[in-house]
Amino acid sequence: QAGKARFVGVSNFSRAQLEESMAVRRVDVGQYGYHLFDRRMEAEVFPYCLDNGVGVMAYGSLAHGLLAGAFTPQTTFAESDWRSKGGLFGLKLFAPENFAVNLAVVEELKALAARRGKTVAHLAFQWVLSNPVVSVGLIGFRTPAEVEASVGGLSWTLGSEERQEIDAIFQKHGVDAAPPVWLET
């Protein structure tokens, strides 16, 4: 009432939760995990956001490091690292039964990106940003060099043929980037 809260944001709300919230007060932005390996929000949440002018901040744009291109089949994670448990938010990206296949996908994505003189991280980030509902793509950095290396992901656009190639890579490896599970499972 004092006018101090000008914008309202939510995180990981389902479409039903967004609709309920919008009935009380306009939601300005939603924060959702979104990357090549996690496209679950495209089915219901993102169309609702687009139709209702709700901006999207996409976190995990590099699939929590998987799309940074630095992991190998020999990569292990410290017990304190959540990835050592296989995954979270209902996805098991780092589980032993999925990790090798996901790395094979990343290797093919690297080759696709290299044809454009880009890294797999550039490709992955540009894919996230190319969705019209995404206002902001978030990437975690540990060093200034990682920030500099990622800037190249902003200076180009993906073509429709490249997007189709990306989808074909996922299909070839049997990776379902939109499993019918919500975030809590």
Of all helices (H) and strands (E), which one includes residue 29? strand 29-33
Q: Assess if residue 180 is contained within a domain.
A: no
User: Considering the chain, what is the average pLDDT of its residues?
Assistant: 91
| Residue 150 predicted with pLDDT over 70 | yes
Q: Assess if residue 179 is contained within a domain.
A: no
Q: Assess if residue 167 is contained within a domain.
A: yes
CB count in 10 Å sphere of residue 176 = 12
Tokens for 22, please give them. 């919008």
| Residue 32 predicted with pLDDT over 90 | yes
Backbone φ and ψ of 28, nearest 5°: -90, -35
Q: Assess if residue 181 is contained within a domain.
A: no
Spatial separation of the C-alpha atoms in residues 83 and 64, rounded to whole Å: 9
| Residue 83 predicted with pLDDT over 50 | yes
Q: Assess if residue 2 is contained within a domain.
A: no
CATH of the domain at 164: 3.20.20.100
Q: Assess if residue 49 is contained within a domain.
A: yes
Confidence of residue 183 (pLDDT cuts 50, 70, 90): low
Give percent of the chain with pLDDT exceeding 90: 73
| Residue 1 predicted with pLDDT over 70 | no
Q: Assess if residue 58 is contained within a domain.
A: yes
Q: Assess if residue 80 is contained within a domain.
A: yes
Q: Give the domain range for residue 94.
A: 9-172
What is the structure's pLDDT at 141?
Answer: 80
pLDDT tens readout for residues 111-149:
999 999 999 999 999 999 999 999 999 988 878 877 777
| Residue 74 predicted with pLDDT over 80 | yes
Q: Which residues of 92-121 are buried (b: 16+ CB within 10 A; e: fewer)?
A: bbbeeebbeebbebbebbbebbeeeebbbb
Question: How many domains is the chain partitioned into structurally?
Answer: 1
C-beta of residue 63 within 8 angstroms of C-beta of residue 106: no
Q: Which residues of 49-76 are buried (b: 16+ CB within 10 A; e: fewer)?
A: beeeebbbbbbbbbbbbbbbbebeeeee
What is the structure's pLDDT at 5?
Answer: 80
What is the structure's pLDDT at 185?
Answer: 44
